[in-house]
A and B are shown apart, each in its own frame.
Chain A
């Protein structure tokens, strides 16, 4: 069985400061990893994904994440946040053994302060 842990439930950050959201997963097989963003009362928007290849993945809106197999982590980073980045962020894992089903972490609420 796979599981995802997002270590921070809430991250306050000042505008133009960097932010890192931590995500660790457990799985017995090779995985695909995702980060999604959710704005209030909306569905999920894909920020980036790791399927294979380079461990540094660049996504939309200036976000990037690094896959670290030895540490089973997939932390999300942005060097300079904007007020509009205030949202809920979800890390998710999928593996072939689970029929491509996604397992989500508990979410991290990012609050960008002016």
Chain B
């Protein structure tokens, strides 16, 4: 159980366009989803935390108008990179957990999406 999928696995887009990445929890209800970014040979950096039905909480330094996050249902969160530029090229990974705060639930990670902006 606890499978998380991401779509697409790879995407190439032109500079100035927007691209949407989907994160789905396949066999559980994810109250909370997390979005990470990973540059080559580097660690994961948390971009934002989203709770179903409410606005995402962005980490310091992450532009919320550039990285739009929607968590409209308990099984789906989307990350839209708006007006993408080459420096946005990265590996984006989502994770999902059953709840945030209170009792601990671990995060389950998706397989990642490789974004290349040309």
Contact = CB atoms under 8 A, between A and B. Distances in A.
A104 B36 CA distance: 11
A102 B97 CA distance: 12
Interface in A67-114: 90, 94, 96, 99-107, 109
B111 A43 contact: yes
Interface in B53-75: none
A43 B104 contact: no
B43 A100 contact: no
Given A43-B111, A105-B43, A96 B104 contact: yes
A63 interface: no
B59 to A, nearest CB: 9
Contacts of B44: 44, 90, 102, 104
B76 interface: no
Contact of B112 (A43, A99, A101, A104): A43
B49 interface: yes
B114 interface: yes
Nearest to B4: A43
B42 A49 contact: no
Given A102-B46, A106-B43, A41 B112 contact: yes
Interface of B: 4, 6, 32, 34, 41-46, 49, 91, 93, 95, 97, 100-101, 104-107, 109-112, 114
- Give 4 closest A-B pairs by Cβ, nearest first: A43-B111, A44-B109, A43-B109, A104-B43
